[in-house]
Amino acid sequence: MDKNKLEELKEEKNLKSKEIAFSLGIAESTYSEWERNKIPIPTRRLIQLSNFYEVNIDYILGIVNERKHINKNENIDLIIIGNRLKEIRKKLNLSLRDLGNKLNCSFSSLASYERGKNLIQSDILINLSKISNCSIDWILNRSQIKKLF
């Protein structure tokens, strides 16, 4: 099995899972499970990983092969993220209910994401990125480059 990006990034920095987990404030077993794609990485943790490695989330997740340097940014602006989610939905010409069906998510959850009340879950974010061809880093306001390809 190919190494995932987290393993590659860890090896490049000559770090151990234990050191990274400590730095992120998580259990070593959690980080190891992320490395082996056993459990999904929550959105806030994706942002932390992006900050830690200073690379784009799209690269960490293996959505793109191009690594881009991302400056550390701890700020999560739920309003901007919500506006970008709404922009994507409108561009796809879908109602909240229709998009929710495509993403296996309730329309009320999507509405709360669009209003900036909650941070979008990573599995929904990844699926949205794939169907819209929008960069996760753009959706989360970490990059100005909107399109993946």
- Sorted by where each starts, the structural domains of the chain and their CATH numbers stand as 5-60 (1.10.260.40), 78-139 (1.10.260.40)
| pLDDT score, position 2 | 47
How do residues 88-119 score in pLDDT, each as one tens digit?
A: 999 999 999 999 999 999 999 999 999 999 99
Rounded Cα–Cα distance for residues 63 and 68 (Å):
13
| pLDDT score, position 1 | 31
| pLDDT score, position 3 | 60
Q: In the chain, which stretches have pLDDT less than 70?
A: 1-3, 149
